[in-house]
Chains A and B, each alone.
Chain A
Amino acid sequence: MRPDWDAYLRNHLPPAEMKEIAEALKRDEALQRDLDGFRRFRDQVRMAVLEEPVPAARLKTALGQVRAAGDAPKQRGRPPLRLALLVAAASVVVAALYVRNSFEHDPFNLARSPEIALFSAKDEAEGLKWIRKDDAYRQLPSFSISGKDVKFSVARMGEDWACMDYILDGETMRVYIAPNPGAKEAERHGSGAQGVAWSKNGFSFALKGKLSARLVSISEQMIKG
């Protein structure tokens, strides 16, 4: 057996093949060593490049100068400021109603808009810090899922959602987050085969997919914690 470890770790193989490899790993120590070696190699490559110095201050300065240098895109037909504010305010109300109403219908469907940014944070805390830079997530409570068997991967953002990716047992686990200003007390919205969703402290969370006992335990900790 010579699995494509990368495809396996990314959960890109057919379910039957994923299951076959997972079972083979339990009984074949050599295969497990091979997977560990692959992970080690990939981690070392990642760290070797990530530890190179990045001139962050100069890059940020360059970004700051772009607007002045770049002939800002012309916004033809810009409406009067008062009208724009009125439209914006009305849209915010409609969007808020939409979020609340649609949430009631499908608490698992938090990522309704396309992804716009991905951040390869060095750890979970840095990923959360990046998400909190967005005003809508400034009050996002801290949580800690990473551990011996759960590795943080990347943070992602859409226009009205955020997401933290983790690797658990070689599979990607995603914690979706969306602002939900109406949510105060911890409230569970659903669980079962499609995952678990809950809201708490002004945010909605969803762990999608069939949950193992470990994932159920993690979600319980997040709901109570």
Chain B
Amino acid sequence: MINLFRPKFERCVEPELPVLYRVAKRMTSSSENAEDLVSQTLLQAFRAWASFDGRFLRSWLIVIMRRERNRLYREPSRVDLEIDELDQIPDHVVTWDLVSDRLQAAEIRAAIDQLETGYRLAICLCDVEGMSYEEAAAALEVPIGTVRSRLSRARAAVRRSLSSQFSPEIPV
């Protein structure tokens, strides 16, 4: 049966374009590749629009993007792998009271881009794009607890990186 009330693809997706580009850039680390990845994602999403269940559009698009990234670059996404590099940083051990007001944007972006993809995306989706744990978990296809854990460790790692490289006043 035709769903006469299904919203038009373009109208729903257009507000998500900047988000998709920023997420693609965190996945590919290149502006050109990010644009290509967004284009491919849009194409696949359009073809699959009839199957979208109406829940968490952004998460649905990011799932498609992750799969497209794996297909285009022919390498397994590390998003889905268990990442143990940062596991040695326990959750919630850092204090934040001495965070500097003068962190530079480029330095913060560099610190984020040094993270493994799973951690990078956790910060990008939750802290930058304001997605809920539930939405981020749907986008990354991991449990909510994993999102929280990655987010916490990613922040600690970014802060540690900024501390060691640029801002000695931040204790780790």
Instruction: Report A's interface with B, CB cutoff 8 A.
Output: 2-7, 10, 12, 30, 33-38, 40-42, 44-52, 54-56, 58-60, 62-64, 66-67, 69-73, 75, 77-79, 84, 87-88, 91, 113-120, 130, 133-134, 153-154, 159
B70 interface residue per 8 A CB criterion? no
Interface centre among A47, A50, A66 (most CB of B within 10 A): A66
21 pairs, CB–CB < 8 Å, chain A vs chain B: A6-B151, A7-B148, A34-B96, A37-B98, A41-B159, A42-B155, A44-B99, A45-B112, A45-B128, A48-B109, A51-B105, A54-B18, A58-B35, A63-B14, A67-B46, A69-B43, A87-B4, A115-B55, A115-B56, A117-B12, A119-B15
Known contacts: A54-B21, A54-B22, A67-B46. The answer to whether A41 contacts B124 by CB under 8 A is no
B11 interface residue per 8 A CB criterion? yes
A56 to B22, CA, bound (A): 11
- Cβ contact within 8 Å between A45 and B108: yes
- Cβ contact within 8 Å between A66 and B46: yes
Instruction: Report B's interface with A, CB cutoff 8 A.
Output: 2, 4-5, 7, 9-22, 25, 31, 35, 38-39, 42-43, 46-47, 49-50, 53-58, 91-93, 95-99, 101, 103, 105-106, 108-109, 112, 123-124, 126-133, 135, 148, 151-152, 155, 158-159
Known contacts: A70-B47, A134-B11. The answer to whether A52 contacts B42 by CB under 8 A is no
Chain B's closest residue to A85 (CB) is: B4
A63 to B169, CA, bound (A): 45
Instruction: Give the 8 A-B CB pairs with smallest separation, nearest first.
Output: A37-B96, A48-B108, A48-B105, A38-B96, A37-B99, A33-B97, A70-B46, A114-B54
- Cβ contact within 8 Å between A49 and B10: no
